[in-house]
Structure formats: C-alpha cells, structure tokens
Structure 1
C-alpha cells in the first residue's frame, strides 16, 4: 500500500458524513481534505473542514469522493466526480432509478475510476460465515426466508429535512432507506427473485411514501421469501433474518446468529448475541464505525492496487432493482 494517504472530499454535510469522518480518524492511510455543501457547511464532527459549493470549485488535491447526499442525488455527484477522474465511494443505496444507476456505472467505467457502495452489512459479524455456508450448500435446501426490518422513526425524523419521505429524492420509504442494507444482504445470499408481489401503505406519518409494507418474493429455485420493512413499528426492533432449510434453521438478529439448528453442523458464531451494534431500529445515528472502516479500507486498497472494490456499483445495483420491483409490484 502506498505511503501517502488517499485524500477524500466528502459530498454532503449531514449525519452520515460524520460517520465517515469518525471512521477515517482511525485510518492512517486515508484523510478528508474538504467537504462539498451547497450551504457551505462543514459536518458537525469536523467544523474546520474547508467547504466548497461544488466539486469543481475544490482547489485542493484529492483522489476520491465519498457521497453522503440524499439518495436521489447520488448520480449527480458520482458522474461529476468520475468526469474529473476521481474515484467514487457512495453511501447506500446506489441511487433510486435505473437510468441514474446505469449512468453512474457507465461514467465511472468510461473514466476508469472505481465505484464502490457502502453495503457494509455483507461483512458484518456472522453474515460472511452464513454466505460461505450457503455457497457451499452446507445448509441444505433453503425453502423459506423471512426478513424483517421493523424500525421506528418519529415525525421529527421526517421533518428534519424537506427531502425525507419523498419519492423523487428519498426514493421511497423504509424499503429503500432503512431496509436497503438487508435487501442487499438478501440478494447476496439468495439472488434476485423472479417475481415479487407487495403491499405497502402509509399508516402513522404524513409523508408521500410508505412507512410500512410487506413483499413476497418468489425464486426460480422454489424458495419463497418475505420482506417486511417499516418505520411505523414502535419502539423499533432488531433486524431479523430467518432461514428455513431441509436441514433445520438459522436466525440472525443484527447480523449475529441467535438461533441455530442445522443437522450435522455446530453453530459457527463467535459473536455475543447481546452485541451492542448499531441497529437503526429507533434512530438513524451510527456510533460504531467498524463496518464503515472496513469498507473504506477496502476502497483504499482497491485504489492503490487497481483492483475492483468488494462491493462495486454493478453489484450494489441489484438491491436497488429488487426495491424498485417491490415498489412496482403492489397489488
């Protein structure tokens, strides 16, 4: 790895920008040199960062950007950065329309820069162990999967910014926001459904998108999955993934195996089931930056060794495609 740290510009000055600042503070091979904010505001975590109104206005040397703007604006920043020859690390989701995502991927490819997406749950706690077991056909025939991401957000959350709870900029409600990480995990484990049927509604918030819904996912293998996503379920609950197979079952909560009964296999977890990790169930703040550090470390190594990042734009696009299918498959 090069001795000189990779220099980042953060685009956006909200809460998630503070998470990246905290993560990079622990990383000697990365540094943040500036922030781009239309309000010329620096994130609260690092008020002394030079602030610029646009990426083209940044008059400092930098190698890459971290996009922390609302989802429907991700493509604008990614395309601009790639056009300047800068690598792109994008907060989830990749974007909220197929056209925007395709343009992001194509522009980064054309300018030979890396595009990575922060779907760090793939490498959190027990998740990679379960992935390996699935890929090696160790769990038996998987016939049923239930994913539940039951969060709660009060009105102050949706009132904190005018774009929250909007279709154009937020992209939708809890499916594209709070459940996006776990829908990416669902794709990573089981692939994309061949058919989806969903029912969504708005129950307790004054927003234009859903605050609760359920999707039934049908797979070519015969597996049937359900995905529940909510910001209406008080007080907010740990994300739960239940996997039922011909050999038994596995249940994960907050990425940790909490229940295990698979014939012939011992529980592989090394995690504490009471592990205090960020769940997002009751609020949007992220205090533990371990998973973000993993993603940034991988991205820095990808830049320095010119290899693809672990989670490319093309890979991350699949989760957004599932979410778009959920939104378009309501009955």
Structure 2
C-alpha cells in the first residue's frame, strides 16, 4: 500500500486553507498539524493541532507546506530541512537570493525535496506553448507582451501589517501577484540580457509599487514588456501576447484564445474556464486543481526520489528577474 505523506502546514493565512482543501482531495496525503503564531485559528484549520514552531511539533510528519509571508519562507524551509523534512513552498520561493540559496543548500545537505508552487507552468495550454517555442515550430519570437493587471482594495493591504512592505512582502505586484507569470516568462524565453523599468504607487497608501512596467531585451533580439499592477480596477485575467515570424498567439489566463501561426494548427480545443482562479480581483482561491497537481508531483518526488516539477533552483530564476526589475528603474 502506498505510504501516506503527512504534512504540517506552516502559516495559517488564506492560502493555508487552500492547501488543506487540496490535500483533502488527495488520497495519499493528509495534513496532521499547523504551525502558526496567530492567536485566532481559522475555522478551516481549527480541528488540527497547532504548534508555535516546527521545533515544537510533537507528532509524526514527513513534509511541510510553507504558507508564511514571502520574506519568511527561508526561515521555516531551513528549519524543516535540518529536521529531515521535505519542503513545499508557496510562491515566490523568497525575496532575496541569499535567502533562497540558504534554502537550496539546506535541502541538498539534508537530502530532502524542495518544491515551489509555480504551478502556472503546467496549467492549461502553457506546456504546449513551451514545447512549441523550444522546437522552433512557432518561428522566431520577436515580441512578447505580458500583462498582469490585478486590483486589490485597501482592505487587502490593511489585512496584515506586512502587506505592501519591502521587508516582508519584498515589493508590490511584481513579486507578489505577477511572480507566477514572470516565472512563466523566464521558463518560456530565458533571462533577459538587459532590463529597464518604471514603477510607481498610484492608488494605495503603501511603501511599495502598485503599478509598473518593464522592458526586457534578450540575446535573440526579442523585446518583451511586462506590466504588473494591483491598481487597475476591476482587475483583469493575465494575458500574454506572443508575436513571431509566422504570426501570433494570445494566452488568456493560460488558455490560447487567439491563434494565427502560418502552417501550424491551433493545438488546443480548450476554452477559458470561468471557475479557474485568475487572481484578478482577489487572492482567494476556490479551485484547487493546480495546487493538487503540484502536491501530487511533490509526493511522487518524495516516494520515487525523482525531481519536483519546480525545484528551488528553478524557482530562484523568477526572484532574480524580479529583483533586476526593481533595481533597473529609470
């Protein structure tokens, strides 16, 4: 019989409840406890034993799911790895390269898995597009426009003292809401050789940006643009427009909605699912399908000794690119 993987969730915010729902849909996994310093326990997690730290967990477990604020990820990841526990980390992996490198080093030293929830790489049509880019089937890609125009109200930023801060959040929408798609951009097209950006704070009373744009120049000659926002009412699904020597395609929330590539048929019959989480206007996630996919892969990596879909090293790329965006303003 396949061994059940026992998880402890570290953090008790909204995303922790999402992971609990996702794990509950997986027969070979269960959540056995929660680590949180909050005095108020969310109803969804209230039936589970709570601990103040990983070191205080007294029950048997195999792995942690890290759901703490961005800049705290490395603390729990290193602590768990040093106890011989596998680590699945919510995006972004962390907000500094130094912190990320500590996570990677600890996982290697202790021979545990380090996976990161950048599940958009394997969502809907994104794997198909990746394969066609790599094969050259689309022709020469010369222009990419990525738009992640979300909206978050004041209540979102007021919901926790760390929101909208550099120290813990690491920045605004580029590292928080758009990091999924910046990870996807890097996965598709690689690292830009040069970045220039302009960021501003227009709608919210926060210390970080709530809107900005970056221009990415690549060795291939490709020019990319990335817009990220939490100021654009009412919030829009993420869109990526790809222009090539053979035509163009448009991905709306990971689904190909426009296709005109010379000599190549549209490879998908999918239509956008109105129930799929877009992140456009809220951080709350109802559909846990993508999280279940990441969890199933992570469990398989533990049980077989294979690699995670998104390793710590791979997830590091998105943070590196975002930090360059932050450091390359006019």
Partner of 1:132: 131
2:12–2:38 contact (8 Å) kept in structure 1: no
**Equivalent position of 1:240 in the other structure:** 239
Structure 2 residue 181 is matched with structure 1 residue 175: no
Q: 1:161 — aligned with what?
A: 160
1:70 maps to 69
Query: Which structure 1 residue ranges, 4+ long, deviate > 2 Å from structure 2?
Result: 39-44, 273-276
CA contact (8 A) 1:17 1:43 kept: no
Q: Within 2, Cα distance between the matches of 1:165 and 1:90? A: 20
Q: Write the mapping of 1:96-135 to structure 2, written as runs, cut at 5 A.
A: 96-135=95-134
Query: For structure 1, which runs of at least 5 residues remain unmatched after alignment?
Result: none
Q: Deviations over 1:155-212 (max 9, x none)?
A: 0000000000000100000000000000000011000111100000000100000000
Within a 5 Å distance, the mapping from 1:11-50 to structure 2 comes to 11-39=10-38, 41-50=40-49
Distance 2:51 2:164 in 1: 27
TM-aligned CA deviation for residue 283 of structure 1:
0.6
Equivalents in 2 of 1:252, 1:316: separation in Å?
22
Equivalent-residue separation in structure 1 for 2:202 and 2:109 (angstroms): 44
Cα separation, 2, equivalents of 1:167 and 1:158: 13
Give the C-alpha shift of residue 274 in structure 1.
Answer: 5.0
How far the C-alpha of 1:273 sits from its partner, in A, is: 3.1
Q: TM-score, normalised by structure 1?
A: 0.98
Task: Map 1:1-331; keep pairs closer than 5 Å.
Answer: 3-39=2-38, 41-331=40-330
Report the secondary structure of 1:56's partner residue. helix
* Equivalent position SS for 1:45: helix
Counterparts of 2:17 and 2:87, CA distance in 1: 18
